[in-house]
Amino acid sequence: MHSTPETVVWLIRHGTSTFNLEGRCQGCSDEPELTQQGREEARLSGERLRRVGIEAIISSPLRRATQSAFEILDMLRPHAGDIPFDIDARLLEIELPEWEGLPFAEIQRRFPEQFLTWRIHPNHLRMPPAFGAADFPVRSLYQRTRHVWQDLLAIYAGKSILLVTHGGTGRALITTALGLGAKHFHSLQQSNCGISRLRFSAPQDGAQLELLNDTAHLGDRLPKLKEGRTGVRLLLIPAMESTPEDLRQVSSALGRVAVDQSFAVGPAGGAAASRILQCRTKEFTQQVSEDVLGSMVNEMLESGSDKELRHVVLAASPACLQRVLQERFGLTSSIAETLLLTGPGITPVHFPGRGVPPVLQAMNIFEPQFGLMGVQP
C-alpha cells in the first residue's frame, strides 16, 4: 500500500502597505498598496522561501497581496523555474464595510461597543452587509476559508504551495485548518510578511502547524506587539537536542530581550534554559515541577502589569508546553497536539491583560533548518 503524499501549505501576509503605516483599517478596500518597505519585506520573504520547494502560488486579488506575490515570485523563479501563479478571490481580507479606510483610533472612538466585541468576542461582531455579505463578518470569513481548504487540498494534494493573503484571512485559514472556530480569530498573530507552515498528511486528518508568523528573515528578533507593551510575554522554549549553532542563534535572539524571569521543568528544561540564557547566572532560572506548573503560570500572569511588559522564559518538554497552550487558549488535547513545538525555536505568547485574550504571536521562530535570517547554509 502506498502512503498518501503530504501536502505542505505555506502562508504569508502581504508586506507593509500604505494603510498599515497610516494605522487605517483595510478590509476589502483595494486602495492601499505596498510601500517600498513592503516590497523589500516581500523580496526578503522570497529569499527565505527559495529553497523550500514551492510548486504553486495562489494570491488574494487585492493589489497589496498580488504586489507581494510578484516580488516573491521574482526571487523564487531564478532558483525554481516557472512557478504557476493563480488568483483566488476567497483569499480576500475580511469584509468590514463600515470601518474600511478609517483610522483604528477613530473606529474605537466612533464604534466603542462594536470595537470591544471585535476584540473580545469577534464571532459575535455584527455589521451592516455590503453587496449581500453576511451580517457577521468573522463568521462569514470562516465559512469562506473552510471552502478554500476543501478545494485546495483536492487540487494540490501532495504538493508544496504558497498562499499570499491578509492578516485576518491568514488567521482564519490557520485556525480552520486546525479545527478551531471563529471565537479564536484573534488567538493568532499574522505580521506583515510573517511566514507560517501547515502540513496535511491527508485531508480527512486535519493539519499540523509547524511554523507560525516567523519574521526572523526580516531582521525582527520577536514579532512586534499588537496589543501594547503591557502584561506578560511568555517565551516558550522546547527542551530538545540542538546543535551549538542553533542554540547560539536562539541565545542571540533573546540577548536583546530584557528577560525578567526564567522557569524550567525537569533536567532537560534546566539544561536548555542554561544554554540559551548563558549571559545570566544559573540562579536566574527557577526549577519547577510539572505538577505545579499550571498554578505557577497563573500566579505569574496575575502579577502582570497594565503599565509595563514583563518577559518570562519557560523551558520544558514540547508535551509540557503544549499543555500550557491548551490551558491558556481553551483547546482540546487533540488540537493542542497539532501544534508541533520544535527546538530550539521560540514560541512567544502575549498576555496583554485588561481583559484582552492571549495571543499566540508566533511559533518555532528561528527554526534551525533555515538559520537566523531564514536562509539555509
- The residue among 257, 249, 297 whose CA lies nearest residue 275 is 249
At residue 113, φ and ψ (nearest 5 deg) are -70, -40
| Three-state SS sequence of 71-118 | HHHHHHHHHHCCCCEEECHHHCCCCCCCCCCCEHHHHHHHCHHHHHHH
Decide if 40 is catalytic. no
- The residue among 341, 333, 338 whose CA lies nearest residue 234 is 341
Q: Which residue has the cell 493542542?
A: 336
Residue 203 region, left (φ>0) first, then alpha (ψ -120 to 50), else beta? alpha
Decide if 147 is catalytic. no
Q: Which of 14, 166, 186, 350 is catalytic?
A: 14
- The residue among 49, 40, 361, 10 whose CA lies nearest residue 161 is 10
- For residues 12 and 217, is the Cβ–Cβ distance under 8 A? no
At residue 208, φ and ψ (nearest 5 deg) are -120, 135
Q: Which of 40, 41, 47, 93 is catalytic?
A: 93
Going from the C-alpha of 312 to that of each of 237, 246, 275, 305, 317, the distances in angstroms are 11, 21, 16, 13, 16
- For residues 62 and 133, is the Cβ–Cβ distance under 8 A? no
Going from the C-alpha of 309 to that of each of 23, 128, 139, 215, 275, the distances in angstroms are 22, 37, 32, 21, 24
Q: Which amino acid is at 4?
A: T
Q: Residue 287 is placed in which grid cell?
A: 526549577
Q: What DSSP string runs through 276-306?
A: HTTTS-GGGEEEE-HHHHHHHHHHHHHT--S
Active site residues: 14, 93
